[in-house]
């Protein structure tokens, strides 16, 4: 594993010199997570922030009726972290689990805090990264309220097509807030529409 993707991600979030980006990336350690392995379990405090080098991770929880609901997917070049648990040092209310074998670069809470205090660029990178992750959460919340299931499906397949190759459809259905049957119908209609157009 080399850190090229991480270095490029750092420079994309906050433009900086290559040596400075390498200094930031040096704070991250490699980890391999086997398929179905957990990055975080409900009730535990999130101690690590993971940059996904390869593979797909999801977060999920259970609704009031005990049904499993996927709340997010994290694919290559994204961060998988329970931000609330990580920064507030509070017990997580979700699980974060690898759907495929994954390789990540992770940084511990203590190392991140130390870097915030000693490297100004790391502090600014962290701030911008948190803003980006908040934006994704906010957009997802609003899409669940303002968009149809078809629109949510279309957005997901256009923004993250790799998810449809490796993720069981039942996870995608709960993420979109629909049943497996509805997802099958939407997929057929979407394929038909795109084949025709």
- Per-residue pLDDT tens over the stretch 82-102: 999 999 999 999 999 999 999
pLDDT, averaged across the chain? 94
8 Å CB contact between 160 and 166: no
Domain spans of the chain, in order of start = 4-146, 147-197
What is the mean predicted confidence (pLDDT) over 156-165? 91
CATH of domain 4-146: 2.60.120.10
Per-residue DSSP letters for 65-121?
TS-EEEEEEE-TTSEE--HHHHHHT-B-SSEEEESS-EEEEEEEHHHHHHHHHH-HH
**What is this structure's pTM?**
0.91
| Cα separation values, 56 from 26, 59, 80, 94, 185, Å | 23, 10, 10, 17, 25
């Amino acid at each position: 594993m080399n850190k090229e993707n991480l270095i490029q991600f750092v420079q994309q979030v906050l433009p900086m010199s290559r040596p400075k980006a390498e200094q930031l990336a040096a704070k991250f350690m490699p980890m391999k997570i086997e398929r179905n392995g957990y990055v975080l379990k409900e009730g535990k405090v999130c101690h690590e922030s993971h940059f996904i080098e390869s593979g797909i991770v999801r977060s999920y929880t259970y609704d009031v009726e005990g049904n499993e609901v996927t709340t997010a997917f994290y694919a290559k070049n994204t961060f998988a972290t329970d931000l609330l648990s990580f920064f507030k040092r509070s017990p997580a209310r979700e699980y974060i689990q690898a759907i495929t074998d994954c390789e990540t670069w992770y940084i511990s809470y203590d190392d991140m805090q130390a870097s915030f205090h000693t490297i100004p660029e790391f502090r600014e990178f962290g701030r911008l990264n948190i803003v980006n992750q908040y934006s994704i959460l906010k957009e997802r919340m609003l899409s669940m309220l303002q968009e149809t299931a078809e629109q949510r499906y279309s957005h997901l397949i256009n923004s993250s097509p790799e998810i449809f190759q490796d993720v069981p459809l039942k996870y995608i259905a709960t993420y979109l807030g629909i049943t497996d049957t509805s997802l099958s119908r939407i997929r057929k209609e979407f394929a038909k529409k795109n084949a025709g157009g």
